[in-house]
A and B are shown apart, each in its own frame.
Chain A
Amino acid sequence: YCLSGHPTLPCNVLKFKSTTIMLDCGLDMTSTLNFLPLPLVQSPRLSNLPGWSLKDGNAFLDKELKECSGHVFVDSVPEFCLPETELIDLSTVDVILISNYHCMMALPYITEHTGFTGTVYATEPTVQIGRLLMEELVNFIERVPKAQSASLWKNKDIQRLLPSPLKDAVEVSTWRRCYTMQEVNSALSKIQLVGYSQKIELFGAVQVTPLSSGYALGSSNWIIQSHYEKVSYVSGSSLLTTHPQPMDQASLKNSDVLVLTGLTQIPTANPDGMVGEFCSNLALTVRNGGNVLVPCYPSGVIYDLLECLYQYIDSAGLSSVPLYFISPVANSSLEFSQIFAEWLCHNKQSKVYLPEPPFPHAELIQTNKLKHYPSIHGDFSNDFRQPCVVFTGHPSLRFGDVVHFMELWGKSSLNTVIFTEPDFSYLEALAPYQPLAMKCIYCPIDTRLNFIQVSKLLKEVQPLHVVCPEQYTQPPPAQSHRMDLMIDCQPPAMSYRRAEVLALPFKRRYEKIEIMPELADSLVPMEIKPGISLATVSAVLHTKDNKHLGPSPQPETLPPTSGKKRKRVSDDVPDCKVLKPLLSGSIPVEQFVQTLEKHGFSDIKVEDTAKGHIVLLQEAETLIQIEEDSTHIICDNDEMLRVRLRDLVLKFLQKF
């Protein structure tokens, strides 16, 4: 069940062996791009934007919609596009598996408003950093209360009249405002922490295991397996050497199905090149006395960028330029990153034993080169020095401290805004700030798998089937000729889209049954073919917690059950009929005919059929039909004859 149309912010539900598992819980925040920014400080420009009116001059929407440089924005608290809630009853979801902190942002909507009663599994850094991201989001939105909540424009008839992209926005009626901190806390309390390679039993039916995915601190891929089937869920993985533990590829081998999501959003950009671009442009701007604004999330790529700058600023002669990191969770994010040693790459882990902080941003803070503040209010305004580099959220440019800096610095061409987060289109993000004099540089740094890496991974892991979002099975619309920018595998990947249900291509054929020692003792296997032995088992199968147990070889010795109460069917001991032996082998027709002749039958005729032979006993008006898997004796009400013939047939077969 695909509940999200965003391939990097997935939300899928997998039904597998009587369990219902939600894979990730991503929140599509691109919907916020349709809203006006929330300024921290009263902005005359934003508050005086003209209202939007229809072509015929009808201005009934002018309170809700504002026009800015040819674009129309909703003047209201930003809203998010939630995962699909109608496709499947979310209260039936047993567990939610989270693969990284970016993919859990919709969690409060699911756990608090759908009747969900299950457990959420995630690693510790995922939870801690996920909490920071949610906290930041709630803080950004709650600290700028907005009286107005627009809903008129969502009316389907009205929406049709609006200009793009509002006209084309999907499922606007389901868009929701941000959750509260209380809901966040309640949602996070349902999470159970897990470690890499830990095996978690779900109702005895399946086992789920998180594996390192190399993308972010604590990010994981998941293996969901029963005794005979294995589904791998790959979401947001990276093969590059950045700060997290490297990706565990080997454990993904032998999968029946590999669900592949969270590939890079910028397949044409090489992260190394982008980091170079980032540094060069930063240096050029600062040298000219300009400021650099980096809209970013409070965790993730920022660690790598700071590490890069740590090495770079000295060589570029920029040591005196202050770096500011402004976020309500800036402090916690910087500190958390230093304590999750076991989740870091080997290089950083070994630093801990020296002991040294694994990330060099500790030194940047110590030497006062990097300063962090919860917001622009307070200490920051005292320390603020220009030119400087500011890292702050939110990358959508719709809320957070970044809005203030865009208003502050947008008018000067000396300043530069450098986009490093790939989640939002930078042109759309900048739309409400136009006209803009400051330089804009787009250096998306997305370390997730690109298509070349995917094809190598698939070659290595060799899943029987690949399942992925439809976006990955065709080249990106803007580069339709780039046939290299899609998944290429054999058999072709099966694709899904939002609100679609896909039957996974495997049949469950076997189930594992445990046999008690006494029962095992009573078995006498017979060798049918070299290497294959068989024994028949008659026993009562007990099924509990999805475990099957064959404990008793003699069902009749079970204690008599009281017949008075009505019991559940599964508890009934089935009637045990006298067991007929099982037969195996094949009947050699010539020898069979000879035997028949020996036993006094004459006038025997053999006919070959498509499936075997027919032996005609013309005198007795009897017909013996011998096929590969059945033998029929057809005679006219002569039971004696039938039994005689049957016994002759049985002589040629093995019984057990």
Chain B
Amino acid sequence: MDLECSRLLPALCAVLVDPRQPVADDTCLEKLLDWFKTVTEGESSLLLLQEHPCLVELLSHVLKLQDLSPGVLSFSLRLAGIFAAQENCFQYLQQGELLPELFGETGPLGQAAWAVPTVRSGWIQGLRSLAQHPSALHFLADHGAVDTIFSLQGDSSLFVASAASQLLVHILALSMRGGAEEQPCLQGDDWPTCAQKIMGHVEESLCSTATPKVTQALNVLTTTFGRCQSPWTEALWVRLSARVACLIERDPIPAAHSLVDLLLCVARSPVFGSSNGNLWEMVAQALSCLGPTHVGPLALGILKLEHCPQALRTQAFQVLLQPLACVLKATVQAPGPPGLLLRAKGTRAVAITPGLLDGMADDAMTVDALLASKSSCAGLLCRTLAHLEELQPLPQRPSPWPQVPLLGAAVTVLRLCDGSATPVSSVGGHLCRTLAGCVRVQRAALDFLGMLSQGTSPQELVMQVLAVLLECLESPGSSPTVLKKAFQATFRWLLSSPKTPSCSGLGPHIPQFLRELFLVLQKRLCSPCWEVRDSALEFLTQLSRHWGGEADFSCALLASEVPELAWQLLQDPESYVRASAVTATGQLSSRGLHAPTSPQHAVARQSLLRELLRILSTDSEGFPRRAVMQVFTEWLRDGHADMARDTEQFVATVLQLASQDLDWEVRVQGLELALVFLGQTLGPPRTHCPYAVALPEAAPARPLTEALRALCHVRLFDFAFRALFDCDRPVAQKSCDLLLFLRDKIASYNSLGEANPNTNSVEVSPWRRWAGEQTQPQEDQEPEAVLAMLRSLDLEGLQSTLAESSDHVEKSPQSLLQDMLATGGFLQGDEADCY
């Protein structure tokens, strides 16, 4: 602890125990505790207490005050715990009888303050910190603390209850560490007393008929198995598994959620070998007994395990698929009419993947859940789809993966949502009624469908999926969020569409699909709902980024009015849409897809640059201006034809506009553009990877002086130097990086033997002038002046200053103490005000 803090500490302790002083807010106390924790990690707590008797006084004082604020009392309990974590300090406090007074029955436990949750929480956390050594265990046993913790497990405050459970787990692990850890006895007869007591309590709770008690016990066990992987946990499981098994036999199963957590936690624990038959039996039983709400997470967890019996995996996967199987069964007609090709396909595919969807008896509980209510049906389906989505990319996912039936199910669910599915049973009819127009399920099904694009599917099935997606995009009833998901799914399916050698990059049926897609996109770009216009534009950008070079794609695109409409949306009243339109038209333009080659469109093509510059200079919203800067940067990087004609002029104009922008992100983007220009003028940035093979430096494109003159010409330095003192830190940082890069580059020029411009002869104007509010254009700087300025700047120093967060001064412990004292009015006359 530094001297200044030591000096302030007594005053602070006095403030804390003075009921007349305003109580410092909780965050200050929280920060103070963090600080003490750091201090005690570095030095001996005992020494700290001996050097600062005010701390012990504080602890003993809080007990005597009746009207002390609960916050301070809680703080003191936690502080005492932190100190007592070190055994010698614990002994020291014990001698003063301070600990029993704080944590024993005579302390806050018996007082009115105990009614305040903060105090109870402080008591638990104090003990949690304290319980680090065998002496602590004795202390707990002597003062009956464990019983209190038992009762706190059912506390009305969730935070307290949860902390109590955590503490129990901690104590259990601590007592086992000192005791039976080495040679666990399965019966647990020779377990330490404290562990015996806790286990007894857990066993008793497991047998309780009160669900909250069972939940508490299960949570304690879950945390234990999750946290400790010592051999004794196996003994613990052996001792308790029978009782857990009893829970599964109850009807209804109590605390099902916690039970699932426990089973999964045990299954994941490396302590249990793969031979743990008893556990797998229990899981298998749980899979067949739990209701559909809880069984899904269990099944998913099982399937995610790397080692687990195959039979169990099969069962879990069946359980997971159950809701979708019900849906398929309720809607699939065995001999599908031609129009129902997909569904007919689905059924046949089911037949070749026995045990997955086919031949599964309808699970009554699943059917009940599907039929119970709209929310339960939607919830179950959404969860199932999300679980399968999570499972699909994993290497340990079930194999063979029933891609075809799953596709069938996803399409069927979508059809149920849009009301076009044909039910074949009363369950189907009911599902039809429940799911019609259910946006939530529609979104989940589209996500799932998009994910399924990663598998391989028969070509005709792909076309069916694309048709469903197209219908969804077409339907006037699709809500904006559904449309967005449909766009995403369509993009994913297009990405994965099978390629054939005879066709250019895209599959054989894709060109026709694209033509239809652009018709839909055309309509969506005209939607009165801005969210729809926005997602349609984003989709267009994605499409052209990937397939802009494909002849089929550009053919279909240019045959539609889509480019024209995107251009018009540059003037959309909604700023998000304008921003997306900027990105989309920028993308189309760099792909040469901006508009057809009619004379009317040629004008449009030429004026896109002008239009984007107009947006950059006049748009009232930040998003479109940021988008323009991104497009320009990309254009510069790719050497876009429109700006390549006169790059310097282009860069000069853009930098001037960006430097005056009020939005810091635009200015940062401007610096990014400047960096690209620098790279192009002086050569690319050097690789910073120390292991990379050092390539010989390529000869620079042009002599340094000429390059510098070009940079001066576009007023890059003007912009960069001013940005160095920008009031927004990211701008200054970016500028610093840029100037450092420039300096390195110049150094490398010098090392290549380029003549070093003579700086001595140049009168350096005070570089500070860029920090001022200059907006008047200046005449071009001379490269020599710039170089001199660059050398005179301590860029590294500036970089490290900028790297520190803006509150680094205020975060020091000293500042914290001063703050707290200032609140208490102790530092009168001191002007310290961190805010």
**Interfacial chain A residues near B571, Cβ < 8 Å:** 317
**Interfacial chain B residues near A479, Cβ < 8 Å:** 419
Q: Is the CB of B430 within 8 A of A483?
A: yes
**Interfacial chain A residues near B529, Cβ < 8 Å:** 276
CB A312 to nearest CB in B, in angstroms, measures 5
Contact A311 B528, CB 8 Å, known A483-B429, A484-B432, A484-B433: yes
Contact A317 B523, CB 8 Å, known A269-B476, A275-B528: no
Contact A268 B419, CB 8 Å, known A277-B476, A315-B572: yes
Q: Is the CB of A481 within 8 A of B423?
A: yes
Stretch at the interface among A281-289, A323-331, A559-567: A281-289
Contact A315 B573, CB 8 Å, known A274-B476, A481-B423, A483-B430: yes
**Interfacial chain A residues near B523, Cβ < 8 Å:** 277, 280-281, 284
**Interfacial chain A residues near B479, Cβ < 8 Å:** 273
Q: Is the CB of A314 within 8 A of B573?
A: yes
- How far apart sit A316 and B434, CA to CA, in the bound complex (Å)? 37
CB B713 to nearest CB in A, in angstroms, measures 39
Contact of B528 among A269, A308, A317, A482 (CB under 8 A): A308
**Interfacial chain B residues near A481, Cβ < 8 Å:** 421-423, 428-429, 432
Contact A269 B477, CB 8 Å, known A276-B528, A479-B419, A484-B433: yes
CB B726 to nearest CB in A, in angstroms, measures 35
Q: Is the CB of B433 within 8 A of A270?
A: no
Contact A312 B432, CB 8 Å, known A276-B476, A284-B522, A479-B419: no
Q: Is the CB of B528 within 8 A of A273?
A: no
**Interfacial chain B residues near A287, Cβ < 8 Å:** 561, 564-565
- How far apart sit A599 and B51, CA to CA, in the bound complex (Å)? 109
- Mask of B433-460 contacts with A, CB within 8 angstroms, 1/0: 1101100000000000000000000000
- Mask of B502-545 contacts with A, CB within 8 angstroms, 1/0: 00000000000000000000111011110010000000000000
Q: Is the CB of B433 within 8 A of A317?
A: no
Q: Who on chain A is nearest to B421 by CB?
A: A481
Q: Who on chain B is nearest to A442 by CB?
A: B476
CB A293 to nearest CB in B, in angstroms, measures 18
Q: For the complex, is A138 an interface residue (Cβ under 8 Å from B)?
A: no
Q: For the complex, is B597 an interface residue (Cβ under 8 Å from A)?
A: no
Q: For the complex, is A279 an interface residue (Cβ under 8 Å from B)?
A: yes
- How far apart sit A317 and B581, CA to CA, in the bound complex (Å)? 15
Q: Is the CB of A484 within 8 A of B561?
A: no
- How far apart sit A99 and B574, CA to CA, in the bound complex (Å)? 40
Q: For the complex, is A27 an interface residue (Cβ under 8 Å from B)?
A: no
Q: Is the CB of B432 within 8 A of A482?
A: yes
Q: For the complex, is B69 an interface residue (Cβ under 8 Å from A)?
A: no
- Mask of A466-484 contacts with B, CB within 8 angstroms, 1/0: 0000000000000101111
**Interfacial chain B residues near A312, Cβ < 8 Å:** 528
Within B474-518, which residues are at the interface with A (CB < 8 Å)?
475-479
Contact A276 B527, CB 8 Å, known A270-B476, A482-B432: yes
CB A490 to nearest CB in B, in angstroms, measures 15
Contact of A482 among B419, B564, B574 (CB under 8 A): B419
**Interfacial chain B residues near A376, Cβ < 8 Å:** none
CB A305 to nearest CB in B, in angstroms, measures 11
Q: For the complex, is B568 an interface residue (Cβ under 8 Å from A)?
A: yes
- How far apart sit A206 and B572, CA to CA, in the bound complex (Å)? 58
Q: For the complex, is A443 an interface residue (Cβ under 8 Å from B)?
A: yes
**Interfacial chain A residues near B422, Cβ < 8 Å:** 481
Q: Is the CB of B476 within 8 A of A482?
A: no
CB B216 to nearest CB in A, in angstroms, measures 39
Contact A279 B527, CB 8 Å, known A443-B476, A481-B432: yes
Q: Is the CB of A273 within 8 A of B478?
A: yes
A-B pair count, CB < 8 Å, reads 75
The secondary structure that dominates the A interface is: helix
Q: Is the CB of B528 within 8 A of A279?
A: yes
Contact of A280 among B432, B478, B526 (CB under 8 A): B526
Highest count of chain A CB atoms <10 Å: which of B527, B532, B565, B572: B527
- Mask of A295-317 contacts with B, CB within 8 angstroms, 1/0: 00000000000001001101111
**Interfacial chain B residues near A484, Cβ < 8 Å:** 419, 432-434, 436
Contact of A483 among B432, B477, B527, B572 (CB under 8 A): B432
CB A389 to nearest CB in B, in angstroms, measures 14
Contact A276 B423, CB 8 Å, known A283-B526, A284-B526, A483-B432: no
- How far apart sit A165 and B422, CA to CA, in the bound complex (Å)? 29
- Mask of A352-385 contacts with B, CB within 8 angstroms, 1/0: 0000000000000000000000000000000000
**Interfacial chain B residues near A315, Cβ < 8 Å:** 528, 572-574
- How far apart sit A255 and B428, CA to CA, in the bound complex (Å)? 34
Q: Is the CB of B476 within 8 A of A273?
A: yes
Q: Is the CB of A276 within 8 A of B532?
A: yes
Q: Who on chain A is nearest to B423 by CB?
A: A481
- How far apart sit A443 and B527, CA to CA, in the bound complex (Å)? 14
CB B784 to nearest CB in A, in angstroms, measures 52
Within A222-279, which residues are at the interface with B (CB < 8 Å)?
268-270, 273-277, 279
Contact A280 B524, CB 8 Å, known A269-B476, A273-B477, A484-B432: yes
**Interfacial chain B residues near A273, Cβ < 8 Å:** 475-479
Contact A284 B527, CB 8 Å, known A273-B476, A277-B476, A317-B568: no
CB A488 to nearest CB in B, in angstroms, measures 8
- How far apart sit A16 and B565, CA to CA, in the bound complex (Å)? 61
Q: Who on chain B is nearest to A484 by CB?
A: B433
Q: Who on chain A is nearest to B480 by CB?
A: A276
Q: Is the CB of A280 within 8 A of B419?
A: no
**Interfacial chain B residues near A269, Cβ < 8 Å:** 476-477
**Interfacial chain B residues near A284, Cβ < 8 Å:** 522-523, 526, 561
Q: Who on chain B is nearest to A315 by CB?
A: B573
- How far apart sit A268 and B561, CA to CA, in the bound complex (Å)? 30
- How far apart sit A288 and B565, CA to CA, in the bound complex (Å)? 11
Q: Is the CB of B419 within 8 A of A483?
A: no
**Interfacial chain B residues near A268, Cβ < 8 Å:** 419, 477
Within B529-588, which residues are at the interface with A (CB < 8 Å)?
529, 532, 561, 564-565, 568, 571-574
- How far apart sit A273 and B574, CA to CA, in the bound complex (Å)? 20
- How far apart sit A287 and B560, CA to CA, in the bound complex (Å)? 13
CB B575 to nearest CB in A, in angstroms, measures 12
- How far apart sit A273 and B528, CA to CA, in the bound complex (Å)? 10
CB A306 to nearest CB in B, in angstroms, measures 13
- How far apart sit A276 and B525, CA to CA, in the bound complex (Å)? 11
**Closest A-B pairs by Cβ, 6 of them:** A484-B433, A273-B476, A280-B526, A277-B476, A283-B526, A279-B528
Seen from chain A, the residues whose Cβ lies within 8 Å of a Cβ on chain B are 268-270, 273-277, 279-281, 283-284, 287-288, 308, 311-312, 314-317, 443, 452, 479, 481-484, 488
Seen from chain B, the residues whose Cβ lies within 8 Å of a Cβ on chain A are 419, 421-423, 428-430, 432-434, 436-437, 475-479, 522-524, 526-529, 532, 561, 564-565, 568, 571-574
Ordered by A's residue number, 8 sampled pairs between the chains whose C-beta atoms are within 8 Å are: A270-B477, A279-B526, A279-B527, A283-B526, A287-B564, A311-B528, A483-B432, A484-B433
Q: Add 17 more A-B contacts to A279-B526, A280-B527, A314-B573 (CB < 8 A).
A: A268-B477, A269-B476, A269-B477, A274-B476, A275-B528, A276-B476, A276-B528, A276-B532, A280-B528, A315-B573, A316-B526, A481-B428, A482-B419, A483-B432, A483-B433, A484-B419, A484-B432
